[in-house]
C-alpha cells in the first residue's frame, strides 16, 4: 500500500452559498490587476513614469502657462496657442508613450500567454464562461490603463483649472474635465483592448508581443508616410495619431506634425473603434475556441 | 435514484466525424474508470458532461442537463487535467484560492480551503513557492488540490498518475482511494494505465469509436472469465495426465507447464471435481485457485478485434504496478 501519509486538517463540506456565475468576471478582473501589480517592471515602473510625466507637464504648465507654445513646424496656421491652452491636449503624446510601454508588459501577451500555459483549461473547467474571461481581462486592463491614460490628463486639467484667472474663466474651462475624460477613455480603449486582440492572434507570447510592437511602431509610421503621399485618412491606422487628433479636435486645435498629418476626426474615430471591435472579435473567437478544445484535451 | 451520470442518445459530431454515436448509459459508483483507446470519445464525453460542447440527446450530471446547466455542473464537479493548466508566476496557494473563487466561493473560504486541499494533497510548506519550479509529482498534487478546493461532488481525473515515479504514483493512488471515503465525492478516472483501474476502481466504462462498449463493475468486466469455474491448478507432476482425465470428466483444460494447467469446469461443477478426479487417478494437487482475468485482458476482449491493435501502444502496465488478481 502507499507509503504516503494523508494529511487532513478536518474536512468539512461547504454548506454556504456560492456566488452567482455573473460575478466571475470580477474575480478575473481582480486577479488581472493583482498580477500586473506584482513585481516592479510590469506596471509600477510605468506608473512612476506616468507620474513623472504628469509632474513635469504640470510644472511646465504652472511656470509657463502665459507663454506662447511653439508648435512644431507651425502647420495649420494656428501656431499662437498659449501653453495653458495647448499643453493639456498635447500631453496625450507623452501618455501614449507610457501607455504603449504598459501595453507591452501587461496586455500584448495576455491571451497568448494563457494559451501557452494551458490556463484556459483552468478557467473553463470551472463555471467561468468565455464572456466572463473577456470581460474580466478587459475590465482589469482598463482599470490599469485608465490610471495611465485618464488620471494623468485629468490631473493636468485640474492644474489648468487652478490656473484660471477668475471664476468666469474657471466655469468656461470646466468642460475640459469632460474632454480629458473622453480622451482618457479612448486612450484606455486603444492601449487595453487593441493589444489584447494582438495577443489572441497567436499562441506564442513572444510572437504576439512582436506583432503588436511591429504594428504599432512600423505600420503606424508607414501609414503616416503614405498619408502624406496619398490622403490623410490613411494615417488613421496610426493609433496614437488618432488619439492625438481626437484630443486636439475636442479643443478645436490642429497641430499636425511629422508623424501625424491632419487626420479627419471621423477617420480617427472610425479607426479607433474599428480596431477595438476587431480586437474584441478576435479575442472572443480565440477564447471560445480555447474553451471547447482546452478541457479534456483535443478530440 | 438519480445516477451520477446519465446519457441518453448522446450524439456529438465534428463535421463528418461522429465522436459520440447515440450513447445511452448510466454510470454510478465511487471510483469509475473511464477507458478507451485514443479517439474513443472520452475527451468529447468529458466536454459534453461539463457543458462545454453542444450535443444532441441528453447528458445529465448529478441530475442536471449539461447543455443547459453547464455552469452549475462545473461548480459541483472538479476536473484534474492531464496537461499542465497553471497560471505562470503563481504559487500553489494563490492558484487554488483563485480556483475556489472562480467556482463561486467567497475569498476567505476559498483561501482556507486552498490551504486544506494543498495540505491534503501533500504539498505542505511548498505550497507557498511558485508552481513553475515544481517537480512533476508536485504539479500533479497541485492539479488534484485545485480540483478539490471547491468541494466537488464528482471529480474527473485525467491521467492523474502520468509521469509519476513509482512512489509518487502509489501516493496519488492512495489519495484517489481515500477521497470518496473522506470527502464523499465520486471519481471518474480517465487513464491509460489499466493496472491503476484494476487497483482503485470499483466500476469501469469502456468506450470505443464513440460508443460505450461496457459499463459495470470491475468483476462484471472480467465477466465469464472471472467466474469461480475457471481455475488454475498446480500439481506435483504430470499436468498433462490430469488434463486428460479432467477433459474426460467434461472440463476444458489448457496445460501451461508440466506441473500447471488451467481448467474451465463444466456447468454445475465445482472445484471438488478436480480434487476427486486427481485423487481417483493418484495425482497430487499442490495448489488450486480461481483464475482471474486481468483488467488489461478484459479490456482487450471488450474491444474485440480492435483490441489486438491497441494491446501494445496506449494501454500499458505502469512501472512497479501489480494488478489485482
Q: What is the residue-wise DSSP string for chain A? A: ---PPPP-S------SPPPPGGGHHHHHHHHHHHHHHSSSTTTHHHHHHHHHHHHHHHHHHHHHTTSEEPPGGGGGG---EEHHHHHHHHTHHHHHHHHHHHIIIIITTHHHHHHHHTHHHHHHTTT--HHHHHHHHHHHHHHHHHIIIIIHHHHHHHHHHHT-SSHHHHHHHTHHHHHHHHHHHHHHHHHHHHHHHHHTS-S-HHHHHHHHHIIIIIIHHHHHHHHHHS-GGGGGGSHHHHHHHHHHHHTT-----SS-----HHHHHHHHHHHHHHHHHHHHHHHHHHHHHHTT---
Report pLDDT for B317: 42
Q: Between A112 and B324, whose confidence is greater?
A: A112
Report pLDDT for A299: 39
CB contact under 8 A, A296 and B47: yes
Examine the pLDDT at A260 and tell me if it is beyond 80: no
Residue A6 placed within a domain: no
Least confident of A50-64, B141-155, B223-237: B223-237
Which residues in chain A have Cβ-Cβ distances shorter than 8 Å to B89? 35, 38
Return the residue of B nearest to A132 by Cα: B102
Band of pLDDT at residue B316, cut at 50, 70 and 90 = very low
Report pLDDT for A5: 67
Shortest CA gap A129–chain B (Å): 8
Q: How many domains does chain A have?
A: 1
Report pLDDT for A70: 57
Residue A129 placed within a domain: yes
Q: Between A163 and A104, whose confidence is greater?
A: A104
Range of the domain at A135: 21-294
Report pLDDT for A13: 83
CB contact under 8 A, A35 and B89: yes
Examine the pLDDT at A254 and tell me if it is beyond 70: no
Average pLDDT over residues A194-219: 95
Average pLDDT over residues B43-61: 91
Q: Between B232 and B316, whose confidence is greater?
A: B232
Phi and psi, residue B39, nearest 5°: 85, 5
Q: Between B319 and A150, whose confidence is greater?
A: A150
* Burial class for B129, CB neighbours closer than 10 Å (0-12, 13-18, 19+): middle
Examine the pLDDT at A111 and tell me if it is beyond 80: yes
Report pLDDT for B305: 64
Residue A299 placed within a domain: no
Residue A104 placed within a domain: yes
Which residues in chain B have Cβ-Cβ distances shorter than 8 Å to A131? none
Which residues in chain A have Cβ-Cβ distances shorter than 8 Å to B324? none
Band of pLDDT at residue A78, cut at 50, 70 and 90 = low
Band of pLDDT at residue A155, cut at 50, 70 and 90 = very high
CB contact under 8 A, B19 and A299: yes
Q: Between A244 and A298, whose confidence is greater?
A: A244
Which residues in chain B have Cβ-Cβ distances shorter than 8 Å to A35? 87, 89
Among B104, B120, B142, B168, which would you mutate to test the A interface (most chain A Cβ atoms within 10 Å of its Cβ)?
B104
Report pLDDT for A66: 76
Examine the pLDDT at A298 and tell me if it is beyond 50: no
Report pLDDT for B1: 62
CB contact under 8 A, A295 and B99: no
Band of pLDDT at residue B308, cut at 50, 70 and 90 = low
Helix axes A175-199, A83-90, angle to 10 degrees: 20
* CB proximity B52 to A under 8 Å: yes
Report pLDDT for A82: 74
CB contact under 8 A, A296 and B109: no
Domains in chain B (CATH in brackets) are 5-222 (3.40.50.300), 227-290 (3.30.70.1560)
* CB proximity A299 to B under 8 Å: yes
Band of pLDDT at residue B193, cut at 50, 70 and 90 = confident
Report pLDDT for B200: 92
* CB proximity A27 to B under 8 Å: yes
Band of pLDDT at residue A71, cut at 50, 70 and 90 = low
Query: Contact, B103 vs A126, CB < 8 A?
Result: yes
Residue A15 placed within a domain: no
Residue A137 placed within a domain: yes
Considering chain B, what is the average pLDDT of its residues? 86
Question: Shortest CA distance to A258 belongs to which of A272, A244, A273, A274?
Answer: A244
Cα angle value B46/B48/B50 (rounded, 5°): 70
Report pLDDT for B315: 44
Report pLDDT for B218: 87
What is the value of pTM for the model shown? 0.83
Return the residue of B nearest to A26 by Cα: B102
Residue A174 placed within a domain: yes
Band of pLDDT at residue B2, cut at 50, 70 and 90 = confident
Residue A229 placed within a domain: yes
Band of pLDDT at residue B177, cut at 50, 70 and 90 = very high
* CB proximity A35 to B under 8 Å: yes
Which residues in chain A have Cβ-Cβ distances shorter than 8 Å to B145? none
Examine the pLDDT at B303 and tell me if it is beyond 60: yes
Amino acid at each position: 500500500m502507499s507509503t504516503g501519509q494523508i494529511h487532513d486538517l478536518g474536512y468539512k463540506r461547504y454548506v454556504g452559498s456560492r456566488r452567482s456565475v455573473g460575478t466571475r468576471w470580477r474575480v478575473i478582473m481582480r486577479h488581472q490587476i493583482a498580477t500586473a501589480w506584482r513585481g516592479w517592471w510590469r506596471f509600477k515602473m510605468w506608473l512612476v513614469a506616468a507620474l513623472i510625466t504628469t509632474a513635469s507637464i504640470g510644472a511646465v504648465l504652472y511656470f509657463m502657462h502665459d507663454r506662447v507654445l511653439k508648435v512644431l513646424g507651425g502647420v495649420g496656421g494656428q501656431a499662437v496657442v498659449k501653453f495653458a491652452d495647448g499643453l493639456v491636449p498635447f500631453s496625450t503624446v507623452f501618455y501614449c508613450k507610457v501607455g504603449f510601454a504598459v501595453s507591452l508588459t501587461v496586455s500584448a501577451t495576455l491571451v497568448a500567454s494563457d494559451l501557452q500555459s494551458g490556463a484556459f483549461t483552468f478557467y473553463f473547467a470551472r463555471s467561468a464562461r468565455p464572456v466572463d474571461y473577456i470581460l474580466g481581462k478587459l475590465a482589469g486592463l482598463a482599470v490599469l490603463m485608465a490610471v495611465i491614460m485618464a488620471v494623468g490628463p485629468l490631473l493636468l486639467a485640474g492644474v489648468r483649472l487652478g490656473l484660471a484667472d477668475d471664476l468666469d474663466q474657471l466655469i468656461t474651462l470646466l468642460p475640459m474635465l469632460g474632454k480629458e475624460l473622453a480622451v482618457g477613455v479612448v486612450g484606455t480603449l486603444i492601449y487595453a483592448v487593441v493589444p489584447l486582440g494582438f495577443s489572441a492572434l497567436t499562441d506564442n507570447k513572444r510572437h504576439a508581443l512582436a506583432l503588436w510592437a511591429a504594428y504599432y511602431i512600423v505600420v503606424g509610421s508607414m501609414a503616416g508616410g503614405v498619408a502624406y503621399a496619398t490622403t490623410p485618412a490613411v494615417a488613421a491606422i496610426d493609433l496614437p495619431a488618432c488619439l492625438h487628433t481626437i484630443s486636439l479636435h475636442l479643443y478645436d486645435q490642429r497641430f499636425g506634425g511629422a508623424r501625424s498629418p491632419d487626420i479627419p476626426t471621423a477617420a480617427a474615430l472610425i479607426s479607433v473603434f474599428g480596431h477595438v471591435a476587431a480586437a474584441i472579435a478576435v479575442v472572443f473567437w480565440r477564447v471560445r475556441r480555447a474553451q471547447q478544445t482546452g478541457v479534456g484535451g483535443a478530440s | 435514484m438519480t445516477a451520477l451520470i446519465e446519457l441518453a442518445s448522446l450524439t456529438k459530431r465534428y463535421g463528418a466525424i461522429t465522436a459520440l454515436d447515440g450513447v445511452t448509459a448510466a454510470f454510478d459508483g465511487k471510483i469509475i474508470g473511464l477507458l478507451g483507446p485514443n479517439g474513443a470519445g472520452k475527451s468529447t464525453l468529458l466536454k459534453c458532461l461539463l457543458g462545454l460542447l453542444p450535443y444532441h440527446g441528453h447528458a445529465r450530471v448529478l441530475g442536471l442537463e449539461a447543455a443547459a446547466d453547464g455552469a452549475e455542473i462545473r461548480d459541483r464537479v472538479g476536473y484534474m487535467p492531464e496537461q499542465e493548466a497553471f497560471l505562470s508566476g503563481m504559487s500553489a496557494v494563490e492558484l487554488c484560492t483563485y480556483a475556489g473563487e472562480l467556482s463561486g466561493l467567497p475569498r476567505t473560504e476559498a483561501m482556507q480551503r486552498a490551504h486544506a486541499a494543498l495540505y491534503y494533497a501533500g504539498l505542505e510548506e511548498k505550497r507557498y513557492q511558485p508552481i513553475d519550479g515544481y517537480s512533476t509529482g508536485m504539479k500533479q498534487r497541485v492539479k488534484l488540490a485545485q480540483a478539490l478546493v471547491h468541494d466537488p461532488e464528482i471529480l474527473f481525473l485525467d491521467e492523474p498518475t502520468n509521469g509519476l515515479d513509482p512512489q509518487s504514483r502509489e501516493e496519488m493512488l492512495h489519495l484517489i482511494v481515500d477521497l470518496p471515503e473522506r470527502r464523499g465525492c465520486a471519481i471518474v478516472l480517465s487513464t491509460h494505465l489499466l493496472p491503476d483501474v484494476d487497483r482503485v476502481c470499483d466500476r469501469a466504462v469502456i468506450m470505443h469509436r464513440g460508443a460505450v462498449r461496457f459499463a459495470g463493475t470491475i468483476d462484471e468486466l472480467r465477466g465469464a472469465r472471472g467466474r469461480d469455474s475457471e481455475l488454475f491448478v498446480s500439481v506435483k507432476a504430470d499436468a498433462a495426465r490430469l488434463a486428460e482425465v479432467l477433459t474426460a470428466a467434461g472440463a476444458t483444460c489448457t496445460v501451461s507447464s508440466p506441473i500447471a494447467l488451467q481448467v474451465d469446469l463444466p456447468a454445475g461443477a465445482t472445484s471438488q471435481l478436480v480434487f476427486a478426479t486427481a485423487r481417483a487417478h493418484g495425482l497430487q494437487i499442490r495448489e488450486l485457485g480461481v483464475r482471474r482475468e486481468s483488467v488489461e485482458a478484459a479490456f482487450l476482449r471488450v474491444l474485440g478485434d480492435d483490441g489486438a491493435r491497441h494491446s501494445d501502444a496506449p494501454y500499458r502496465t505502469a512501472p512497479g504496478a501489480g494488478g489485482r488478481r
